[in-house]
Amino acid sequence: MINSENFIQDFRDLYLKSPQCGSWSRGSENCDYGDIITVSKDSYMCFNSGNCRDAYYCEDSRALTNCTDCAFCEQCELCYECVDCNNCYDSNYCQDSVNCEDIHFSYDLRRCKHCIGCVGLRDKEYYIFNKKHSQEDYEKALETLDFSNPKILEEIDKKLEVLKREIPRKFVHQFDTQNCTGDYIYHSKNCYRCFDTRHTEDSGYIYQANLDMGTKDSWDCGPIPTGMDLCYDIAYSHYLFNCKHLYWCGNLKDSQYCTNCFESKNLFGCHYIKSKEDGYYILNQKVDEDFYKKTTKEIIDILREKGIYALYDLLFKDLDRDVVSVSDDQLGRSCTLCGDNFEITEDEIGFYKKMDIILPIYCPNCRAEQRIDLRNERKMYKRECGGCKNPLITTYSPDNPHIVYCLDCYWQNIG
Amino acid sequence: MKDSVTKKCQGCKKEFLIIPQEQSFYEKKKLPTPSNCHECRRNRRKSLRNERKLYQRKCDKCDKDLESTYPKNSPYIIYCEECYYNEVN
What residues pair up with A241 in beta bridges, in sequence order? A229, A253
Radius of gyration of chain B (CA): 21
Give the separation between CA A253 and CA A266, rounded to whole angstroms.
7
Helix (H) / strand (E) containing A36: strand A34-38
Select from A199, A173, A208 the least CA-distant residue to A372: A208
Interface contact A69-B45, CB threshold 8 A: yes
| Residues A314, A11 contacting (CB under 8 angstroms) | yes
Domain segments of chain B as ranges: 5-46, 55-87
Determine contact: A78 vs chain B, CB below 8 A.
Answer: yes
Residues A100 and A114 sit within 8 Å (Cβ to Cβ)? no
Enumerate the β-bridge partners of residue A131.
Answer: A128
Q: How far apart are CA A195 and CA A184, in angstroms?
A: 6
| A95/B48 CB distance under 8 A | yes
Q: Please tell me if residue B31 touches chain A, with a CB cutoff of 8 Å.
A: yes
Digit-coded pLDDT (tens) for A261-311: 999 999 999 999 999 878 999 999 999 999 999 999 999 999 999 999 999
pLDDT of residue A324: 84
Q: Which of A95, A171, A183 to mutate to test the interface with B (most CBs of B within 10 A)?
A: A171
- Whether residue B1 lies within 8 A of chain A, CB to CB, comes out as no
pLDDT digits (tens, 9 = 90+) for A342-364: 999 999 999 999 999 999 999 99
Name chain B contacts of A72, Cβ cutoff 8 Å. Answer: 49
What 3-state class would DSSP assign to A233?
strand
Give the model's pLDDT for residue A142.
Answer: 86
pLDDT digits (tens, 9 = 90+) for A26-46: 999 999 999 999 999 999 999
**CA–CA dist A103, A80 (Å, integer):** 11
State the pLDDT confidence band at A143, using cuts at 50, 70 and 90.
Answer: confident
Query: What are the Cα distances from residue A67, in Å, to A43, A72, A145, A307?
Result: 10, 12, 20, 46
Give ipTM to 2 decimals: 0.96
Q: Is the pTM of this model over 0.90?
A: yes
| CA–CA gap between residue B13 and residue B35 (Å, rounded) | 10
> A213: pLDDT confidence band, cut at 50, 70 and 90?
confident
Q: Measuring CA to CA, which residue among A319, A310, A316 is closest to residue A257?
A: A310
Mean pLDDT rounded to a whole number for chain A: 95
Residues of A in contact with B77 (CB under 8 A): 165-169
Confidence of residue A147 (pLDDT cuts 50, 70, 90): confident
Phi-psi sector, B59: left (phi>0), alpha (psi -120 to 50), beta: beta
DSSP string, A241-278: EEEEEEES-EEEES-EEEEEEEEEESEES-EEEE---S
Q: Which amino acid would we find at residue A91?
A: S
State which H helix or E strand residue B45 sits in.
helix B38-46
Report CB contact under 8 Å: A83, B52.
Answer: no
Q: Report how far residue A53's alpha carbon sits from residue A72's, in angstroms, rounded to the nearest whole number.
A: 16
Provide DSSP, A283-298. Answer: TTEEE-HHHHHHHHHH
